[in-house]
């Protein structure tokens, strides 16, 4: 997986900027894969949480909690209004293969906004080999924004804690 981020200096990311970044990511992934892709948006009432913990029940609890935080799933960008954007505390746009795709292997691309860093969008592309065009294109599209490694994500990350005392 490859990750990178783009940040504004003074103002928060707007719904229009987020939609523009998501559409650009979709177009770049379609070009890289040579097939049509699906773009969907998810708006959350609270920030999204991720962990790499392998302890029983933790991953499924966090996944279930994340699903409960979703208050809007949108496939038409026109439905992502400024009012919905203001209501959201975290937003994700996901690019995936169509269910009818004949190509083998998983492909996904995500851009996230709001959450812990409201002036930043963080991008993720998997597999990494497909990320070059998407990364270059997004950085050109938002060329005046600060560029980052993607390490500073918008979601909440809970690291693995040792059970030892």
pLDDT in tens, 90-147: 999 999 988 765 666 778 899 999 988 999 999 999 988 888 999 999 999 999 999 9
The two structure tokens encoding residue 58 = 């933790």
CA distances from 165 to 54, 58, 129, 161, 162 (A): 18, 20, 41, 11, 8
Pairing of strands 49-51, 156-158: parallel
Is 11 contained in some domain? yes
Is 29 contained in some domain? yes
Is 78 contained in some domain? yes
Is 122 contained in some domain? yes
Among 119, 122, 106, 147, which residue's Cα sits nearest to residue 22? 122
Question: How many H helices and E strands in the chain?
Answer: 4, 9
63-80 pLDDT, tens digit each: 899 999 999 999 999 999
CA distances from 4 to 70, 90, 148, 149 (A): 24, 18, 6, 4
Q: Would the pLDDT of 49 be above 50?
A: yes
The model's pTM: 0.88
How many domains does the chain divide into?
1
Is 34 contained in some domain? yes
User: How confident is the model at residue 162, as a pLDDT?
Assistant: 44
**Domain that includes residue 75, residue range:** 2-158
Is 165 contained in some domain? no
Are 91 and 43 a contacting pair, CB within 8 Å?
yes
Is 147 contained in some domain? yes
* Integer Cα distance of 134 and 160 in angstroms: 31
Is 164 contained in some domain? no
Across the chain, mean pLDDT equals 88
């Amino acid at each position: 997986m490859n990750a990178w981020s783009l940040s504004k200096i003074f103002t928060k990311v707007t719904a229009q900027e987020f939609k523009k970044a998501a559409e650009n990511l979709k177009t770049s992934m379609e070009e890289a894969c040579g097939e049509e892709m699906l773009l969907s948006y998810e708006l959350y009432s609270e920030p999204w949480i991720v962990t790499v913990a392998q302890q029983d029940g933790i991953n499924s609890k966090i996944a279930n909690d994340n699903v409960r935080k979703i208050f809007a799933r949108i496939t038409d960008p026109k439905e992502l209004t400024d009012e919905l954007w203001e209501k959201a505390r975290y937003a994700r746009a996901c690019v995936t293969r169509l269910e009818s795709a004949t190509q083998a292997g998983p492909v996904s691309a995500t851009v996230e906004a709001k959450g812990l860093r409201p002036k930043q969008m963080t991008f993720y592309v998997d597999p990494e080999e497909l990320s070059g065009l998407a990364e270059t294109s997004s950085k050109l599209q938002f060329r005046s924004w600060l560029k980052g490694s993607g390490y500073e994500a918008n979601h909440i990350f809970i690291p693995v804690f040792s059970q030892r005392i």
